Structure formats: C-alpha cells, structure tokens
Amino acid sequence: MGANFLSKSTDRGNSWTTISPDLTGGAPGSITTIAESPLRAGLLYVGTDDGHVQVSRDGGKSWKNLTGHFPGMPGRRWVSRVVASRFDEATAYVTFDGHRNDDYSTYVFKTSDYGETWTSIRANLPPREPVKVIREDYKNRNLLFLGTEFAAYVTIDGGASWTRFMSNMPTVRVADLAIHPRDADLIAGTHGRSIYVVDISPLQQLTETVLSSSVHLFNPKPAMAFQYRVFSDDQFLGEKRFVAANPPYGATISYYLKSDVSDEVKLTIMDTSGNVVRELAGSKERGIHRIQWDLRYAPPPRAEAAGGGGGGFGGPLQGPLVDPGQYMVRLSVGSRQWTTSVTVEPDPMLEITEAERRTWRTTITRLLRIQSTAVSAVNAANTLHEQLAGLSKTVADFQNASAGLRQSMQETARQVADLQGKIRRASGQITGLYQEVNAAPFAPTETQTRVLEELTRELDSLVTALNSAIGAIPNLENQMNRENVPRLKPVQPVGRGSN
C-alpha cells in the first residue's frame, strides 16, 4: 500500500509495516503505482504523483531513485504506471501522464537493466496522448497494450510499432487495462464509456514466424456447450437494469492470411473419427479473421412451401449440439490445408448422465432421418400436385379426351392433393418434435418417444401411398399419348391489325 511511504502486509491487511523512506520529492505527494516482480522476490518498483520512480532489489531495505534516468523528459511528471516484466526480471515499463503540467506528450519507457537506463518505446504513437496504463501479456513477451487519454493501442514487436486497438471503441480515455490469464481476454476500463472486453488469444500466438507465413491457423480456446436461457422477473427495473452483450456463443476459430487469396477459404469441423460435423466459409482478405462455430451440426433442411416458396415453414432450423469432447479443425485455402483441434467442454451447471446423453443423441439422430424423409416427401408431393393440376386442366379442356382418362386424372389429382396435405401436416409435427427434443439436453420424455414412434409409422405409410401415386403417373401419360392429348394448350398466333 502506498502513500508517501510504501507499506507491506503479510496478514491480508490486518497489520502493516512501513518498508521505505519517503519515496516522493518531500512536498505533499503520494505513490501512484506499485509493481512487484513476478520473477524475483523483493524486486519492487514505485512511481509517484510528483514524478519520482524508485526501485528496491531487497524487499524495501534500500531504494534507488531513477527519476533522472529517462531521456527526453522535460521534468518530473505524474507516473501513471510502472510494470515489472514476467519474462525477464531486469525488464520493466514506465508511463508518464503530464497533462497536469500542461504537457500532453506521449511518454512510454522500457528498461532491461533494473532501471539503470531507459529507452523510449513511443515509436509511431501519436505525439500528444498522455498515457494512463501499460500492460505486458502473460504469454507473449512482445505483446504489449497501452491505454491513453484517447484510445487503446497494441504492439506485437515489443514497442517497435503500435496499432490502435478495438475498432469499435470510441475516442475515450482508457484508464486501466487488465489481462485475464485463463481466458486470454483483455479488459479495458474507460472514463465514462463502459468496459470493453476482447479475446486476444490469436495475438498471443502471433510471432514473427506466424507473420512470415502465408497462412496460419491459430489454436482456439476451449468452448462450452450450454443450452438454456435465463429468465428474470425484472421488467419493472426500468433504467436500473444493465445488460451487456455476451461473448459470441461457441468456438471462436481464428486464422491469418498474409495477403488476399483467390482460392476458396473453408473451415471444416470433424469428430475424432474424421466425420464432417460442419463446414463454414471464411474470408479471402488479408489479415486475422474469426469464424464462429456454434457447436452444432449443420442445420437440417425444411420442406418447401407449396407453390415453390423458398424458405419453408417458419425459417431455418438449428442443427443439434455436438457432444463434449475433442474436434479437429481443418482450414482449407484451395488445395492447401492446416489443422488444429478444439475442445468442447460440458456445461458445468448441467447434471446429466452419459446414458441420458446417449439416449438424447440416438433420438435426435432418428428425428433427423425422418425429418429428411419428410422433407423429401413434402417436396415430391408439392411437385406432383403442381404437375397434376396442370395436366388435369389440359385434359379437362381437351374435347377429345375420353371420360375414363378424365376420371383417372381427377381421382389421381384428388388422391395426391389429399396425400400432400397429410404429408405436410406430418412433416410439421416431426419438425415440432425435433425442435422440442433439440431444445433440451436431457433424454426425451415418454410422451416424446411415443409420438416419435407414431410419426415414424404414419410417415412410412404416407410415403408408401405417395410412391404408389408416383408409380401410377406413367399409366396416365401413356393413356394421354394414346388419346393424343397435348401437354401444352394450343395458343393462337397474335394477329396484326391492318393500317
């Protein structure tokens, strides 16, 4: 804990011991930032609001003032942050914020010799952005993040060059930055514009070797499969309720393209047996790209509406969730391929046995099969009904058609129309049952199992009847040919009016 002295507690703050002299310039001042080396016990750095930077290598027994060691500093400035490196004990970073002295210059420094000498790593940063915070990554020693009065910045080369970070962040003071060591998230706290969180795992893997490659597939973070919604009775809280957007659901898979490509870019998810689970299209443009896999198989088709309506009844369906486990990820750019793996973790809040999971998987697989059959049956019935309607009209309008042909055509058309309605109704019930079972991770209920058996039998009977009707069409066509019934209604030429 810092005031003008540095104090230490070894009992969680119950008692404190002063371990330094006054580390400020003597006038009323205070310690603004403290850094303890994660590599060497007793290596401490302190910065103060009156511009002093001090270091101790023996746990506070002795201190060295480094204030005059920063090249280009016009005088003492508020020390906004000091950070001790987790990769090299002799390395540390310091930032200054001089706006209280009407100095808006950008000050960022690095030492590799315990503070004896410092080098500016401002590089291509804007010259007039007071710096509030600097953070070193947990995994990549060359990955640094910076928060200034106006923005956040990132460097992947240890400060040789900087890039403005988080394109959706407005111009705002970034007061603090934190890196989550487990989740590889960068958290930015701003002055009045909320908190921003971004996944930096691809940047942690970004090395010179990766950047020199034409294509690179990054290792994705584990993804958790969950399937429930939280409902709360807070509709009367008004403006007191705050809800931010959740991270994208599923596995975030990132890849790098050194330059634009003309070949197809495709991401393929496979199980441990090599079976394709999902295929997703990727961007062909240069840079780092992310593809979101929702941890589901490809969505099953829906039947077309009668008359050729494109989307089917009720929009697209969701594919079933995959089981927890390991999955292979394959990035294809034309004929070239790169592979990695992703782990799908189970929902820790879900209590389900392996037997229940297997029963659910068996049921959903059966439903997918009969859903596919039902879609084919609906589409076939729609097509057949549409064609028979046209032929029936042609036969009815053809004066020389026999009564037997007229009757056969009418009966077949009525039979197909009846089948079409029944098949569409059964298909809708199968789709509804699929959505019910797919919406819950548990084994299906007894009622759902019974309905599945009933629908399976009903659909089988309807498909048999439909195939019988389809089989009768050649006889109708032969009869129409024998009676010379035209397939198209004759159209008289258009006459021209005389002048």
pLDDT tens-place string over residues 363-377? 999 999 999 999 999
Percent of the chain with pLDDT over 90: 74
Domain shared by 263 and 381, yes or no: no
Residue 190 phi/psi, 5-degree rounding, is: -105, 170
Question: What is the chain's mean pLDDT, rounded?
Answer: 90
Domain shared by 397 and 266, yes or no: no
Six-digit token pair at 240?
């007191």
> Is 61 a member of any domain?
no
Domain shared by 277 and 342, yes or no: yes
> Is 436 a member of any domain?
yes
* Contact between 67 and 76 (Cβ < 8 Å): yes
Domain shared by 324 and 381, yes or no: no
Contacts of residue 173, Cβ cutoff 8 Å, sequence gap at least 6? 132, 147, 148, 149, 150, 190, 191
What is the per-residue pLDDT across 93-143, written as a single tens digit (0 to 9) for each?
999 999 999 999 999 999 999 999 999 999 999 999 999 999 999 999 999
Domain shared by 313 and 216, yes or no: yes
> Is 292 a member of any domain?
yes
Domain shared by 279 and 388, yes or no: no
Domain shared by 214 and 342, yes or no: yes
Asked if pLDDT for residue 230 goes beyond 50, the answer is no
Between the CA of residue 116 and those of 70, 88, 107, 112, 245, what are the distances in Å?
A: 9, 15, 18, 8, 46
Binning pLDDT at 50, 70 and 90, where does residue 175 land?
very high
Domain shared by 397 and 291, yes or no: no
Domain shared by 473 and 392, yes or no: yes
> Is 184 a member of any domain?
no
CATH number of the domain residue 283 falls in: 2.60.40.1220
pLDDT at position 406, please?
A: 78
Give Dmax (Cα) for the chain. 117
* Contact between 38 and 66 (Cβ < 8 Å): no
> Is 19 a member of any domain?
no
Asked if pLDDT for residue 329 goes beyond 90, the answer is yes
* Contact between 15 and 23 (Cβ < 8 Å): no
Domain shared by 433 and 465, yes or no: yes
Kind of pairing, strands 265-270 and 276-281?
antiparallel
Measured CA to CA, the distance from residue 61 to residue 311 in angstroms comes to 75
| Mean pLDDT to the nearest integer, 236-256 | 79
Q: Which residue has the tokens 């923005």?
A: 151
Higher pLDDT pick, 388 / 443: 443
Contacts of residue 347, Cβ cutoff 8 Å, sequence gap at least 6? 224, 225, 226, 227, 228, 441
| Mean pLDDT to the nearest integer, 253-263 | 97
- The alpha-helical segments, DSSP class H, found in 121-257 are 201-204, 208-212
Q: Which domain holds residue 214?
A: 208-228+247-350
pLDDT at position 235, please?
A: 56
- Name all contacts of 169-172 with Cβ < 8 Å and 24+ positions apart: 169/193, 169/196
> Is 417 a member of any domain?
yes
Instruction: Quote the number of domains for the chain.
Output: 2
Shortest CA distance to 134 belongs to which of 171, 115, 106? 106
| Mean pLDDT to the nearest integer, 402-412 | 81
> Is 129 a member of any domain?
no
Contacts of residue 201, Cβ cutoff 8 Å, sequence gap at least 6? 184, 218, 219, 220, 221, 254
